[in-house]
Structure 1
Amino acid sequence: MSEILQKQAPWVTLPLAARELARYNIDIALSETRFGDNGQLTKTGGGYTFFWYGRSAEERREAGVGFAIKTTHIPKLASIPEDINNRLMKMQLPLGRYTCVMLVSAYAPMMTNPDEVKDKFYEELDSLISSVPQSEKLIILGDFNACVCTDHQAWHNITGKHGVGKCNSNRLLLRTCASHDLNITNTMFCLPNRNKTIWTHLRSRHWHQIDYVITKVKGRQDMRLTKALDRPPPHHLQIQLLHPTKEKASG
């Protein structure tokens, strides 16, 4: 959805996004955005409510994150999506009486950013992951601007056998996943490359896998499929089929 949610005003672009989400019957979606400040918008007749957080109107809009949620699901939420900063946003979704899943929308700095900017993002992501109770499910979704490669033996349980390409110099994502026992689910499913890669470099025309769906290793069985849908470049739409188990109360 990122090519839709760019610099135009929310009331211009969000109806287009709503139609695209309804086409695929998506329940919850997220994306990096270029909207200024923070906001919430429900499009009458569109079926979705949008939440976003970005930089102030005076700043260059290089970062911003958001959620799109079917409006009928809003009353089920424990609380509305909460922004951590303009690159991280979280939302708690109840699963029955005893289980919740924490959804995190993430937009990592690009490789061209200074190291201190990238380090700061992963430090804040690390703190957010650490704040989630061990009993709570966790799903992190977003654009990490990182390639995690096909070397699943070096990153056992973190990546699977079906990654794409070579690992770039940004190993902060892999290290963060390793320190929290997280699994990058995109690498777990055997699919054609066109259904694994998300973004194409407009000059080289090479496709890359940089958007990821990440979960706790023990919650990996909840993930039924992570797949990129065929769309015009530069960005594909990625879907995650989720069937979470509902744990019963102990004792």
Structure 2
Amino acid sequence: MNDNGKSQTLEATDRRMEVLSTKTKTRLGFWNVRTMYQTGKLAQVTSEMRRYNLHILGVSETRWIGSSRVITSTGETLLYSGREDSKHQEGVAIILKKGAEKSLIEWKPVNSRLIKIRMRGRHMNMTIIQCYSPTNDSEEEAKDSFYEQLDTEVKLTPRHDVLIIMGVLNANVGKDNSNNERAMGKHGCGTMNENGERLIDFCNTNNLVVGGTLLPHRDIHQLTWYSPNDRDKNQIDHMMINGIWRRSLIDVRVKRGADVGSDRQLVTAMIKLKLRKSQKMAHAPTKFNVQKLQDPRIRHSFVLQVKKRFQALQDLDTEVSVDMINSTYEHIKTAYQQSAKECLGFRTKKGSKE
């Protein structure tokens, strides 16, 4: 990727701000600001970003055209992706706190509804996709196109990355997670709509979970949109994380104090990487003590043991099939392992005989 388009890879030679680790909390935010195509609007947005001490902020409905990378007057790095037809509609962006850009591996302006970045972490890298989905009343073709492109970007993401998809999904997922326990929790708001069904199906297919439904909060800390008359309220902006990392998502909540003149609320999230503890083996030794093979008597005994066990292979069916090949392989492996275990034993960590 380059600054004006496709892809950009960055080499950080100096010290990077840590954006993902087991010791520090990464603070993310996403916000539909309704437009950035106004004088002073960018300064307002970055001011609120600093006030809430966010490392990364995803922005929807920027209404900027084209795509580029910009450094703000206060040091934030802005990456944006918009329409190419000169229409000031849609548009997405990701803003990085000053210093966080040094952890940026690459970024991709997909289209006016999707932008993708990849950040370097201490133990794991993190991929973030900022979204601006078609509304629930949009044409089916537009919705299909959006989810097809989003699915493509998810499939292109390295499978070990912590994957975050966030932004305006225009989807009500509701409270009822029956038969969708892997994709959402029980703490959503309202009732699921058609876009909500699409989103949950997408999450089930890609092993994602809707973060805002996992933790109990008051409705005012979950509802992301209010109608002008304050009568209608919905939770339609969401963050998803891949299921294997769901324990690393500490919190997702609305910050009602943030204000840039939008009818949407700023949503923030905290992530602290939690790695799985490696399971200890039942016995410490894992390597056979092959040094014993230097002794002719032990070597002879080992060969006899292997031959004896290989005798059983002569009774196997000679018809070639996948199952037969797998079975034969297992017999051969077992023959060598059992013979080595009886004749050689294991080495300790220091290499001494057991």
TM-score (norm 2): 0.65
Tell me the equivalent position of 1:149: 174
How many angstroms does 1:154 deviate by? Answer: 3.0
Tell me the equivalent position of 2:110: 84
How many angstroms does 1:241 deviate by? Answer: 0.7
Please say if 1:25 is aligned against 2:25. no
Please say if 1:109 is aligned against 2:134. yes
Tell me the equivalent position of 2:38: 8
Tell me, in whole angstroms, the C-alpha distance in 1 between the residues paired with 2:209 and 2:191.
18
Kindly provide the amino acid, as one letter, of the partner of residue 47 in structure 2: R
Q: Which of 237, 240, 248 is the equivalent residue of 2:266? A: 237
Matches within 5 A, 1:60-99: 61-79=88-106, 81-96=107-122, 98-99=123-124
What do the CA deviations read for 1:77-111 (whole angstroms, capped 9, x no partner)?
112x2111111111111112x52111111110112
Which stretches in structure 1 are left out of the alignment for 5+ residues? none
Tell me, in whole angstroms, the C-alpha distance in 2 between the residues paired with 1:38 and 1:25.
26
Tell me the equivalent position of 1:41: 70
Shift of the 197–43 alpha-carbon distance from structure 1 to 2, 3 Å rule, reads: same
Secondary structure class of the residue paired with 2:130: strand
Q: Which of 127, 135, 139 is the equivalent residue of 2:164? A: 139
Shift of the 91–226 alpha-carbon distance from structure 1 to 2, 3 Å rule, reads: same
Contact kept in structure 1, 2:126 and 2:162, CA below 8 Å:
yes
Tell me, in whole angstroms, the C-alpha distance in 2 between the residues paired with 1:5 and 1:26.
20
Kindly provide the amino acid, as one letter, of the partner of residue 44 in structure 2: L
Tell me, in whole angstroms, the C-alpha distance in 2 between the residues paired with 1:194 and 1:165.
13
Contact kept in structure 2, 1:8 and 1:35, CA below 8 Å:
no
Tell me the equivalent position of 2:198: 172
What do the CA deviations read for 1:176-196 (whole angstroms, capped 9, x no partner)?
101011100100010000001
Contact kept in structure 2, 1:4 and 1:13, CA below 8 Å:
no
Identity %: 24
How many angstroms does 1:42 deviate by? Answer: 1.4
Contact kept in structure 2, 1:54 and 1:86, CA below 8 Å:
yes
What do the CA deviations read for 1:169-228 (whole angstroms, capped 9, x no partner)?
222111110101110010001000000111112246221111111011110011000000
Contact kept in structure 1, 2:127 and 2:162, CA below 8 Å:
yes
Q: Which of 199, 217, 240 is the equivalent residue of 1:191? A: 217
Contact kept in structure 1, 2:130 and 2:167, CA below 8 Å:
yes
Contact kept in structure 2, 1:5 and 1:14, CA below 8 Å:
no
Contact kept in structure 1, 2:36 and 2:42, CA below 8 Å:
no
Which stretches in structure 2 are left out of the alignment for 5+ residues? 1-30, 278-354
How many angstroms does 1:5 deviate by? Answer: 3.8
Secondary structure class of the residue paired with 1:86: coil
How many angstroms does 1:243 deviate by? Answer: 0.8
Kindly provide the amino acid, as one letter, of the partner of residue 74 in structure 1: E
Bigger Cα displacement from structure 2, 213-222 vs 203-212: 203-212
Structure with higher Rg: it is: 2
Contact kept in structure 2, 1:76 and 1:94, CA below 8 Å:
yes
Contact kept in structure 2, 1:5 and 1:17, CA below 8 Å:
no
